[in-house]
Amino acid sequence: MDLKELYRDVILDHNRHPRNFGPLEAASHHAEGNNPLCGDRLTLAVRVNGDRIEDIRFEGSGCAISTASASLMTEAVKGKDRSAARQLFEKVHALLTQPDAAPDPALGKLAALSGVREFPARVKCASLCWHTLNAALGAGHATVSTE
Ligand code: ZN
């Protein structure tokens, strides 16, 4: 199996079986994200304790890329503190926007999103959940749109 197939399998798996999907009780932060270009809608609920993302779950409906990306994102940031989550966001952003950049080893499974670069129209699908996380952690309650 080559790397491309591996990445595709990760995306398919997280789309079919999204992790951390559903409502979150006692959330401290919320945000809604909307990608009108594709029709992706996402609600993020986060429970922050001190500086740590104690729990995070998402709801909504969208294309395979947006669902898989949100699933991978929640797995990646759960248990991390805000600054570590922000660093991951920057690495994902670089991965999605720099065509020749090799995936940073710190990305782990998030490297699977590199396949999205071949489809520029889908980059917003993949980054929606990250912008929504930023909004949730920044304002406590916010709505973001990719447009
Ligand atoms: Zn989409």
Q: What DSSP string runs through 86-105? A: HHHHHHHHHHHH-TTPPPPG
Across 83-101, average pLDDT: 90
Residue 141 — pLDDT band, cuts 50, 70, 90?
low
79 CA from centroid of ligand 1 (Å) = 27
Does residue 147 belong to any structural domain of this protein?
Answer: no
Spatial separation of the C-alpha atoms in residues 90 and 107, rounded to whole Å: 10
3 CA from centroid of ligand 1 (Å) = 23
- This prediction has a pTM of 0.93
Does residue 47 belong to any structural domain of this protein?
Answer: yes
50 CA from centroid of ligand 1 (Å) = 33
Domain count for the chain, please give it: 1
Q: Which stretch of DSSP H or E encloses residue 136?
A: helix 123-139
Residue 140 — pLDDT band, cuts 50, 70, 90?
low
Q: Which domain holds residue 41?
A: 3-140
Across 18-29, average pLDDT: 96
CATH at 78: 3.90.1010.10
